[in-house]
Every structure is written in structure tokens, then in C-alpha cells.
Structure 1
Amino acid sequence: MKAHRLAALIAALLSPFAGAASCVDPLDTFDKYNEAVPERQKNDIPSEYYVMSYSWAPHHCAGAERRSKQPGGRNYLQCGSGRSFGYVLHGLWPQGSKARPGHYPRACEGDQPRIDRKLLEKYLCMSPSVWLLQHEYEYHGTCMHDEALEDPKTYFDTALRLHQQLRLPDRELPDTAESRRWLLANNPHLRPDGIQYYAKGKEWQFCFDTRFSPTSCPGASPAGRPEARTEADASCRIKGNVNRRAGTRLYFTPAHPDYASVKINTADGERCFATEEDARAAGWRKAPE
């Protein structure tokens, strides 16, 4: 056993947090976890429902830089500590109107102070990264539908309560009917149309209303899959694409050079439009050529 892992194990056994917070690691000392939030990221609009999104830790770790997995690195706890993480909560994300999927609030209060690491320790088994927890609070926790839910502790406690109600698999599930059957069989409180798969991030997502009861996801069919739209469908002549990382919503016309490569996934909040006017009215802007 490597020396740093042995030291972590001994410290964990002796730590007063070992029982209550088994994912606290003395070698997880990454301290540059409060990055500035640019003002341009702010989109303070009302939230009408929520999405809980889960990523597969081994997939994330496979793409993480080697240095970040070392003690003190940003990804050490999740990827280098020797702990076995499977599905971890990427975030509890307030969403806008169900009538306008993909138009969601973001960084509603702008840049926020650094959250005390001691407060974050309680949530590390759910989201094993202080950087991720700080990021999720700043970009999503400040946008809860009720201001009483917007302080860090209440936001994370809400996420933890929902997280503890879910039974997640110990293997990565592909986007198949069998996977959906497994999720429903092991989580009977969920709705069949309240489960969606975020293909770009390979994440499973669950939708909740503002009372945090399971609800349907916009655009999902009763079987829980996005309603299919083909490029031959006249109502999909204009393609509304969503870039979650950049927070942009662009529409592509058949004349755009990238039109053929744009694929629509309604589970990601992407939409088809019959006309450019419809796309602009829904809040999309034309993609530059």
C-alpha cells in the first residue's frame, strides 16, 4: 500500500469524522476551490422544477489530469484516494419553465464567498470534491425557487436528502430500456417520464418539482425517453442547440455550414422549431456562421 494511502487510512480511523463523514481525508487539502464567477454567467430567472444529475466517477477520473489525482490535487479524493466511487451527484440544478427546457437560471447571486471546508465535509461522500461543491452552490444553489433554500447548508442538505432516497447502481448504466427498468424497479417513487439521460455528459438525471416530489422531465415520453424528432420532420427544420457549459442556446438553419452535424436531444433541453421566428420567441439566437 502506498505511504500516502496508509496514512489516510490510519487518520480516517482515528478521525472524529470517521463515522459521520467517512469520505473526509487528511490528504485532501486542495484549497483553490473558490473560483471567480464572471458576471456574464449570471441568469437570474425563476426556477419551476429541478434536475438531479449523476456522473460516473471512473469516467470522470479517466479524463482527469494525473497531477490532479495526487494528494492536495483537485481530483484526489474522487480519483486518487483509493476510495471506490461509482455514481456521484454532479448537482441539484434549478431549471426554468417546463415550457422552455434549456432556459435555466445560473449564478443568480453572482460570485460568492468561499464555503468553509468543515461545512462541506458532510457532503463529500455524495459529491467528492470541495471544488465541485463550491461550484455547484455558486452556479445553482443561489437559484433555488425559495430564498430560504439558498444558503449553502440548506441547499446541500436538500440535495443530500434527495440523494439518500435514491438507490444507485454499482456499475455504469448505458442509455437503454433495461437500464431504465433497473432504475424504476429500485426507485419505485420515481416516475417513468421523470428519468432522462444526458448523452453529452453520460449522466443520469431525475426531475423533481418545487416541493421536491418526483415529476416528469420536459420532452420525455411516458416510457421515459425523449420524443424522437428526425431531420426530415418539417417541425425540426430549425435546430435549437444547447451548450450547458457555456450557457448558450443557438439555433441553426439549413443554410448554416454546421447544420448537418447538429443533433437534437430533447433530454438536454434542445428543441426543434418550424421557423426562425419561433426559435427567437423561445429565447434562442441565431448561430454565427
Structure 2
Amino acid sequence: MESNLIAVVCLLAFMAICCTVDAAPVNSSCPLPPKLGSTYDYDWKSKPHEWSNPNVKTASLQLALSWSPTYCASLSKGERDQQFQCKPSNDFGLIVHGLWPQASKASSVKDHPRNCRNEKQLNETMIKRFFCMMPGEYLQQSEWEKHGTCYFATATDYFTTVEKLYKSLNIPDIRAMKNPTATTIKDSFLKLNPKLPSSSIKVIMESSRLKEIDICYGLNLQFANC
């Protein structure tokens, strides 16, 4: 009888922890759209330039951080008007593009795991919870299905891992830098993150503007060579 009671208590504790993860309060420290789109599901088969590579083993992970001003500047005015991330009043900076499973030996991007399984549309609570680091419902949905499904069992596993890695980084004030270059941006990251090896970060520029920063991790979520 006593052992059964202990088992019930443990089960209730486990359920409480799980519910806490899924029902975390909405992050309100950044602008949120008044209403999400009703349809933002992702279907790689409808994308002419997409492909599926589900049978490749994941050897490492790459956290891709996108510089919003450069991304938004690459869009037409009509496209920018449709992107909540790009509205001038929202002022998003370095956001998460995605967390990408990587193969150990890849000669091209098509050698990495990609579009491993179809998943249902994420619910609104999930989208809003992670909106500040990934400001777009379609961005979250597509990154989860395109990359997350190739290593993570659930969307919660994927996004909480992304959140953990993202929040563990000290992000330099890139806007305050005068004429930033790949070298000065990388040096700033290394200075603010003493445990980050130089070999674990890549800074990608587009002309003279920051485009993306990639941070590489092993499957143990420790820094790894890119």
C-alpha cells in the first residue's frame, strides 16, 4: 500500500513538471502580434527547392542566429510589410534562425539531416512562448519540421533546447559597434563568452553587413568545432 502511494506521488510530481514546461507563461518582453496567422503549417513537398534526408545520423548541432536588420533589408517592401519581425517599431536584433542537426561528413548542405517527418501545426501557446527568440509562427513551424524532427522527439524538446543554448550566450551589443566586421563581431562574442572556443563560432557577412552567426555544439550541448 505504501509503495503504491509513493508511486502515485512520483507520477503526480512528474506530471506537474511536464505541465510546467508546456504551460510556461507567455514571454511578454518583446512585441507580440495581436493575432497569429490561422495557417502556418509547413510542407516541404510543396517547396520546389526543398528535399528530405531522414536517414542520416546526427553527429552535432548548429545554432544559427540571424541578424534581423540584414534579413529584413533583403526583402521587398511588400514582403517586409508581411513580416512582423521587420516592422520598424519592433526592433528585433539577433534572433534564432534555427537549431540544425549536422552530419559528421558532409560535402554539401544536402548531406545533412533535413525534413525527417511531417508534424502537426504548433499551438498558439507554444508559438508565443518562444516568439521573442524566434519571431514568426511560420519560422518556428518550418524550423521544427525542417530541422528539429531530425533529432528531437517533440517540439517541446526542440524549442526548450534552443532556448537553453540561446540564453546561455552573452550577446554583444552589435548595434553599438561602429562599422562591425566579421572579426570584431567574433572577438566580441569570444570576450563575452570566455568558454566559447574560436573554432566553435562562425560569423557570416553579406557584403559589409552581418547576416548570420553560427555556434556549434556536440550532442552533449557542449561547444564543438564547426
TM-score (norm 1): 0.60
Q: After superposition, what is the alpha-carbon deviation per residue over 1:125-168, rounded to whole angstroms, capped at 9, x for unaligned?
A: 10111110000000000011xxxx32111100000000001112
Residues 66 and 28 (structure 1 numbering): CA distance in 2 closer, same or farther, change over 3 Å?
farther
* Matching residue's letter, 1:43: N
- Cα distance in structure 2, aligned partners of 1:29 and 1:116: 10
Aligned equivalent of 2:129: 122
The structure carrying a bigger helix percent of its residues is 2
**Does 2:82 match 1:79?**
no
Determine which structure has greater relative contact order: mean sequence separation of CA pairs < 8 Å that are 6+ residues apart, divided by chain length. Answer: 2
**Conservation of the 8 A alpha-carbon contact between 2:170 and 2:193:** yes
Q: 1:138 aligns with which of 141, 145, 169?
A: 145
* Matching residue's letter, 1:178: T
Unaligned runs of 5+ in 1: 1-16, 218-289
- Cα distance in structure 2, aligned partners of 1:21 and 1:192: 34
Unaligned runs of 5+ in 2: 1-24
The runs of 4+ residues in structure 1 deviating greater than 6 Å are none
**Aligned-residue CA RMSD (Å):** 2.6
- Cα distance in structure 1, aligned partners of 2:201 and 2:222: 13
Aligned equivalent of 2:41: 34
> In the comparison of the two structures, how many residue pairs are matched?
192
Work out which of the two has the higher radius of gyration on C-alpha atoms and give 1 or 2: 1
**Does 2:208 match 1:202?**
no
Aligned equivalent of 1:216: 225
Q: Among the aligned pairs, what percent are the same residue? A: 28
Report the 3-state secondary structure (helix = DSSP H, G, I; strand = E; otherwise coil) of the residue aligned with 1:41: coil
Residues 177 and 62 (structure 1 numbering): CA distance in 2 closer, same or farther, change over 3 Å?
closer
Residues 216 and 133 (structure 1 numbering): CA distance in 2 closer, same or farther, change over 3 Å?
same
Q: 2:32 aligns with which of 25, 34, 40?
A: 25
Q: CA deviation at 1:83?
A: 1.9
* Matching residue's letter, 1:196: K
Residues 206 and 26 (structure 1 numbering): CA distance in 2 closer, same or farther, change over 3 Å?
closer
